[in-house]
Amino acid sequence: MIKASQADKEKELRLLYHVAETVHSLELNDVLREIVTIVDEVSCADSILIYILDKKKEELILRASRNPHSDLLTKITMKMGEGITGWVARQRKPVAISEGANRDTRFKYFRSLPEDKFEAFLSVPIMTKRVVVGVINIQHKTKHVHATTEIQLLSAVGKLVGGAVENAMLIEETLELKEAIEIRKVVEKAKGILMKRKKINEDEAYRKIQKESMDRRKSIKDISDAIILADQMDITH
């Protein structure tokens, strides 16, 4: 019995070392995929969902899943404190329910998520220091009693990957900001061209770009690029 316990501890240590060694990508989606793979290895669950906290909106956003949910990623959201997921994020504590998870008073139902009908539910926070950056939800279709060691191990995983998730989030935010600045520069240049060519004011120029975008079903950046290119080629747009 003692040998088995020692073997389990060694297995857990190997896993935690593996987590520390492998979860370090700079791409948030890659980091989350690695976390899903590791959690799957620990839990053998029927479903794994990872929510990431948008600090500005105080909102948890579904960003990764074990089962294919590409149409739902980034579309399912919860406020801090909302549902079991939001409760875990706010309280910074795990929740383990062995059966009847959707009968818990904190549960939030999403018609589009088949996992919401699963029996067992384990939710652990993803943390860096004492700050929550996300939540991992592990679900089983049938009753599943979560051993204390399982809860502790998955909670430890949540703490170990917190730094990698936070770093990847910061890089993603920086890239999004950089892209937004570049788009703004292009739009401003296109507006200037229209104002000069058509003798209109700034608001009218922007509305023209916006209308063209809607009519052609292209992005505002694509329309702006086309205006700039036409001007460079000296073609009346």
CATH no. for residue 180? Answer: 1.10.10.10
pLDDT in tens, 83-100: 999 999 999 999 999 999
Instruction: Assign 158 a pLDDT band (cuts: 50, 70, 90).
Output: very high
pLDDT in tens, 138-157: 999 999 999 998 999 999 99
pLDDT at 18: 73
The three-point CA angle 188-189-192 to 5° equals: 85
Q: Could you tell me the two tokens for 92?
A: 């910074």
Per-residue model confidence as pLDDT tens digits over 203-215 = 889 888 988 888 8
pTM: 0.74
The reply to whether 28 and 113 lie within a common domain is yes
Q: Among 105, 135, 160, which residue terminates a domain?
A: 160
How many other CB atoms are there within 10 angstroms of residue 205's CB atom?
22
Number of domain units in the chain: 2
Q: Are residues 128 and 227 in the same domain?
A: no
- Its domain, for residue 184, covers 172-232
Residue 166 belongs to a domain: no
Co-location of 119 and 184 in the same domain:
no
pLDDT of residue 228: 93
Q: Is residue 165 part of a domain?
A: no
Does some domain include residue 237? Answer: no
Closest residue by Cα to residue 53 from 172, 177, 181, 156: 172
Share of the chain above pLDDT 90, in %: 50
97 and 20, same structural domain?
yes
Domain identity same for 116 and 197: no
